[in-house]
């Protein structure tokens, strides 16, 4: 059997959880079957069981396009190029809306079953309009078309499955829930501290860590606004880059500058660090905070838990299936607006509650350590990529 992965992200161009998912799932599946990956980029790798080919954007063609629409036009063009080379796979598996048009064309033109993993859903990400303008209507249409014509949908959590059924016309029998996973050998506690030293983080004092993109979805602004309520001896480490828009980048800069007026222990690492460096930050953090306002799964939480770090996270989406309240971390209730953009009804109260959870764990070493050990065990029990690859292969077999 041969599977074709279509994806925007693949190493070395990974900036979010979907990219992490594709990287590890492809690697583990390649132990079982042949896997070909077609990604946005310039990759060119030919292995025995895993091959990767990149398809770069055509910048020149869209040089005069509207800036917000350019990303959509480039995505559609790349999707066509992905299909121009003959597809000889038995199944095509797409990840995120960026690859969905390519998947639609592969199913129609080559007559092979289409599998989609729903890492996120456009109806629940209305802030994407800031980034794409009317292109958000196009991305939403592409996603809806692909989801409703797919032979199987893989939801990364039970809540994501419910969201699919709520927003799309899909037979429930076509949806399978398969969690994200983690490489248990790679994500382990490490002793090295050179990254902390490089950024001036005091090893003798506690710190709370955030890792993720600067986007509405990740809720980082709410964490920055919570800093004024966090104990002053607690260091704040924000590993945050790749802003969605210039506007949210400016909002982040202003919020960090305002929080820094009253304390000098905020460390903003404004780029996406490599895996090795992030694992070091996880390993030495006292608390990891995930303040997302929308999260189908939240792979960053299992990364932190694997590195034996207690978690404070918003009680939204798949996070509630990952973080066990009182055992591996604290879940912070989030009352959201009933309609787009789904921001907190009371943003300041949400920030206060995040800070309260962080302060609780920072000041209770016994509870924090218990959660750290429980978190590692939960990851080992439920989120192993090898088991997830076998589940995915079973789905492929059922469609062929």
pLDDT of residue 194: 97
Q: Is the pLDDT of residue 220 over 90?
A: yes
Token pair 């959509």: residue: 72
Q: Cβ contacts of residue 8 below 8 Å, gap of 6+?
A: 18, 19, 39, 40, 75, 95, 96, 98, 99
Position 339 confidence tier, pLDDT thresholds 50, 70, 90: confident
Residues 80-102 as b/e (b if ≥16 CB within 10 A, e otherwise) read eebbeeebebbbbbbbbbbbbbb
Mean pLDDT of all residues in 174-180:
96
Q: Is the pLDDT of residue 340 over 80?
A: no
Q: Is the pLDDT of residue 336 over 90?
A: no
pLDDT of residue 7: 98
Q: How many CB atoms lie within 10 A of CB 318?
A: 25
Q: Is the pLDDT of residue 338 over 80?
A: no
pLDDT of residue 3: 98
pLDDT of residue 30: 98
Ramachandran assignment for 7, one of left (phi > 0), alpha (psi -120 to 50 degrees), beta (any other): beta
Burial of residue 153, with CB atoms counted within 10 A of its CB: 0-12 exposed, 13-18 middle, 19 or more buried: buried
* Of the candidate ranges 7-16, 224-233, 280-289, the one whose mean pLDDT is the lowest: 7-16
The DSSP output letter for 122 is G
Mean pLDDT of all residues in 65-79:
93
Position 271 confidence tier, pLDDT thresholds 50, 70, 90: confident
Q: Is the pLDDT of residue 207 over 90?
A: yes
Q: Is the pLDDT of residue 15 over 90?
A: no
- Residues found in the chain: 400
- Residues 194-382, CATH architecture: 3-Layer(aba) Sandwich (3.40)
pLDDT digits (tens, 9 = 90+) for 90-138: 999 999 999 999 999 999 999 999 999 999 999 999 888 988 999 999 9
Starting at the edge strand that comes first in sequence, how are the strands of the sheet with 114-118 ordered? 44-46, 50-55, 34-40, 2-7, 91-95, 114-118, 152-155, 175-177
Average pLDDT of the chain is 95
User: C-alpha angle 145/150/151, rounded to 5°?
Assistant: 160
pLDDT digits (tens, 9 = 90+) for 37-59: 999 999 999 999 999 999 998 77
pLDDT above 70 covers what percent of the chain?
100
Fold agreement (2-181+384-399, 194-382): yes
Per-domain residue ranges of the chain: 2-181+384-399, 194-382
pLDDT of residue 265: 98
- Residues 2-181+384-399, CATH architecture: 3-Layer(aba) Sandwich (3.40)
Q: Is the pLDDT of residue 217 over 80?
A: yes
Position 232 confidence tier, pLDDT thresholds 50, 70, 90: very high
The DSSP output letter for 62 is G
The pTM (predicted TM-score) of the whole model is 0.87
The DSSP output letter for 182 is B
């Amino acid at each position: 059997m041969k599977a074709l992965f279509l994806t925007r992200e693949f190493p070395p161009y990974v900036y979010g959880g979907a990219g992490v998912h594709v990287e590890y799932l492809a690697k583990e599946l390649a132990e079982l079957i042949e896997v070909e990956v077609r990604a946005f980029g310039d990759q060119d790798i030919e292995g025995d069981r895993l091959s990767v080919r990149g398809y770069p954007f055509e910048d020149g063609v869209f040089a005069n396009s509207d800036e917000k629409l350019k990303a959509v036009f480039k995505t559609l063009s790349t999707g066509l190029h992905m299909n121009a080379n003959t597809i000889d796979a038995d199944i095509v598996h797409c990840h995120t809306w960026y690859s969905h048009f390519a998947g639609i064309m592969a199913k129609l033109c080559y007559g092979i079953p289409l599998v989609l993993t729903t890492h996120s859903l456009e109806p629940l990400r209305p802030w994407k309009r800031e980034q794409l303008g009317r292109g958000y209507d196009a991305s939403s249409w592409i996603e809806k078309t692909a989801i409703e014509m797919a032979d199987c949908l893989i939801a990364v959590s039970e809540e994501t499955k419910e969201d699919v059924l709520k927003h799309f016309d899909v037979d429930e029998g076509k949806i399978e829930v398969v969690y994200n996973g983690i490489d248990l050998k790679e994500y382990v506690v490490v002793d090295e501290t050179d990254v902390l030293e490089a950024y001036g983080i005091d090893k003798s004092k506690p710190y709370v860590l955030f890792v993720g993109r600067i986007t509405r979805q990740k809720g980082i602004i709410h964490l920055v606004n919570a800093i004024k309520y966090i104990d002053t001896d607690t260091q704040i480490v924000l590993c945050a880059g790749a802003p969605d828009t210039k506007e949210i980048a400016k909002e982040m800069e202003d919020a960090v500058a305002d929080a820094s007026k009253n304390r000098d222990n905020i460390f903003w690492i404004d780029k996406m660090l490599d895996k090795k460096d992030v694992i070091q930050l996880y390993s030495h953090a006292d608390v990891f905070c995930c303040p997302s306002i929308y999260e189908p799964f939240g792979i960053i939480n299992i990364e932190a838990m694997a590195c034996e770090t207690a978690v404070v996270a918003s009680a939204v989406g798949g996070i509630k299936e990952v973080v066990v309240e009182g055992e591996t971390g604290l879940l912070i209730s989030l009352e959201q607006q009933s309609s787009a953009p789904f921001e907190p009804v009371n943003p300041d109260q949400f920030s206060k509650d995040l800070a309260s959870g962080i302060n609780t764990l920072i000041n209770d070493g016994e509870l924090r350590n218990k959660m750290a050990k429980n978190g590692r065990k939960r990851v080992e029990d439920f989120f192993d990529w090898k088991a997830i690859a076998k589940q995915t292969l079973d789905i492929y077999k059922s469609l062929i």
